[in-house]
Amino acid sequence: MTKSSPVTDAFHLYDTTLRDGAQREGITYSVEDKLTVAKILDNFGVGFIEGGWPGALPKDTEFFARIAAGELVLKNAKLVAFGATRKAGIKVQEDAQVKALLDSQAPVITLVAKSDVWHVEQALKTTKEENLAMISDTVEYLVSNGRRVFVDFEHFFDGYKHDGEYGIQAVNVAMKAGADVAVLCDTNGGMLPSGISKIVTDVLEKTGARIGIHCQDDTGCAIANSIAAVEAGATHVQCTANGYGERTGNADLFSVSANLELKLGIRCLPDGALKDMMRVSHALAEIANLPPNTHQPYVGVSSFAHKAGLHASALKVNHELYNHIDAAVVGNDMRILVTEMAGRASIEMKGQELGYDLSKQPEAITKVVEQVKDLEAHGWSFEAADASFELLLQDALAGESTKKFTVESWRTIVEQREDGQIVSEATVKVRAGGNRIVATGEGNGPVNALDKALRSALIQHFPQIGELELVDYKVRILDGGMGTGAVTRVLIETAQKGRRWTTVGVSENVIAASWLALEDAISYGLLGKST
């Protein structure tokens, strides 16, 4: 299959975020969340969306019922219900859980089945023969009711080591009963790529079945194991968004699909989907109430970030020299980080990223390089504080301070009153518009009080300051061994009409560090830059 070929049934990109991904510690989806996630995944273009286990979990039952009622119409994906084979000793027509799968009205059903003799005998507590009958009966019954059936063979790789012949029997029984795909599951996540390749190749040779792969990430190899299975002949890959899942997670949908499309030339997403990858990843992280993984391949904000000056020198010549793909292909951006490692090329490229042509400003570049290295030696960090760096850059280009106000002094008082209430009060003295202004402010802490006092002092000259909102405040102790006398770094994130920027301040005094970051935050906001 070539990259230019259309997405067809010849290769399956199967998402199980709503079932397996939801088993991650810290994730709890409501039914509304599940519907939203399904819509996002469908728009992204995955082939199959596993919605959960109807009949076993009330939320999942409701989810399928609401889709059946027309609340969500899938445009690209097919909806999948997940469940188990019939219970031992029960007729398939009488198994309530199997009935719930049919009642879900999902056109595709994925059955979890045992192929490991240890699990058959110790977990199911039944015979090997009855287990095979359970697989055959359930698949045949669901297919006879018009459902397409995939079979997830749980613990397949571990079981293959215990009794490979039984694993082959289980696959053959499922396929003979009408299953479409035999999905080999590394349920404990203990496999390495070489082992995956060997067993997938062996199963294909011995069964001729259509093979799928489902990998957990306990060895950190879920993505690599999934790709190894595809290279060995699997044509169905199960993943979760951002690798969410039980324990250490599952194979990451975004890394796997990007690798399939960009590295193997296997078409698994519609045209244009890759450009939405970063946005979709972050949107799904937001719904899961988890921060995006900044170092996640392809979609992390640091995945195309360069810190070393040597990299920047090469990137200035050709971006391909230190990037394995163009970041824009997956909706990301290449970034140059300004740190003590920065050289002239780093500063010039960072300036270009911020909209400044420094190619004819060698003196300014030299000055900024020296300033950055000196400041970072004293604890400053501009990696996550582009706004502070840009203010520094502007001053270097102008040869003087470009801030629209100057600070004469500031002070803050924290008072515990007789009734136990703690009140912070701040006074600032600034010069703006040719005037000297003294203003005070009260807040729930000294930084809040300073923020209010500074705004009060400047708002008459700069009314737009009322639009600025402090949205995040982070404090880091740089030398814990110094106790309360340690150097402190403060990062402040500020927002204005949809745009955000971060500033930094460093001092042995946490309030002074906060003030430096706050002053930069207000100064940058007054630049009036567009989003």
For residue 193, give the CATH number of its domain: 3.20.20.70
Specify which of 110-124, 226-240, 489-503 reaches the highest per-range mean pLDDT.
226-240
How far CA 249 is from CA of 153, 160, 210, 217, 253, in Å, comes to 18, 22, 25, 5, 11
pLDDT band at 312 (very low <50, low <70, confident <90, very high): very low
pLDDT at residue 134, as a whole number: 95
Residues 34 and 68 both lie in one domain: yes
Average pLDDT of the segment spanning 425-447: 93
Q: Is 226 contained in some domain?
A: yes
* Contact present, 509 and 486 (Cβ < 8 Å): no
Q: Within 70-155, where are the H helices?
A: 96-103, 117-122, 128-144
Which position has the token pair 């287990």? 131
Maximum C-alpha span of the chain:
92
Residues contacting residue 260 through CB under 8 Å, at least 6 positions apart: 11, 13, 227, 230, 237, 266, 268
Taking the complete model, does pTM exceed 0.85, yes or no? no
CA distances from 519 to 203, 383, 425, 504, 526 (A): 65, 19, 17, 10, 11
Q: Of 354, 378, 398, which residue is a domain's last?
A: 398
Number of domains in the chain: 3
194 and 158 assigned to the same domain:
yes
**Is the domain of 86 the same as that of 215?**
yes
Which of the four pLDDT bands, split at 50, 70 and 90, describes residue 351?
low
Looking at 381, 398, 415, the residue that finishes a domain is 398
Q: What is the CA radius of gyration of the chain?
A: 29
Q: Are residues 315 and 247 in the same domain?
A: no
What is the SS3 string spanning 199-253? HHHHHHHHHCCCEEEEEECCCCCHHHHHHHHHHHCCCEEEEEHHHCCCCCCECEH
Q: Would residue 358 count as lying in a domain?
A: yes
Q: Is there a single domain that holds both residue 249 and residue 346?
A: no
Of 364, 380, 398, which marks where a domain is finished?
398
Task: Give yes or no: residues 428 and 393 share one domain.
Answer: no
* Assigned domain for 34 exists: yes
Does some domain include residue 369? yes
Q: How confident is the model at residue 264 (pLDDT cuts 50, 70, 90)?
A: very high
Residue 12, strand partner residues:
236
Q: Using 50, 70 and 90 to split pLDDT, how confident is the model at 8?
A: confident
Residues 141 and 174 in one domain: yes
Same domain, 380 and 410: no
Domain CATH for 422: 3.30.160.270
Residue 222 lies in a domain: yes
Considering the domain boundaries, does residue 31 fall inside one? yes
Statement to judge: residues 341 and 420 lie in one domain: no
Q: Tell whether 123 and 229 lie within a shared domain.
A: yes
pLDDT of residue 419: 86
pLDDT value, residue 165: 95
481 pLDDT above the threshold of 60: no
pLDDT(317) > 60: no
- Looking at mean pLDDT, say which of 177-191, 283-297, 368-382, 473-487 comes out highest: 177-191
Check whether residue 259 and residue 160 sit in a common domain: yes
More confident residue, 527 or 35: 35
Residue 369: predicted pLDDT: 73
In Å, how far from its chain's centre is CA 453?
Answer: 38
| Same domain for 133 and 31 | yes
Structural domain for 494, as ranges: 406-525
Average confidence (pLDDT) over 18-24: 94
| Residue 171 to residues 133, 163, 390, Cα–Cα distance (Å) | 12, 13, 61
165 inside domain: yes
| 257 in a structural domain | yes
Do the Cβ atoms of 521 and 503 come closer than 8 Å?
yes
What is residue 460's three-state secondary structure? coil
Query: Using 50, 70 and 90 to split pLDDT, how confident is the model at 531?
Result: very low
How far apart CA 451 and CA 439 sit, in angstroms, is: 11
Tell me the two tokens of residue 406.
């100057």
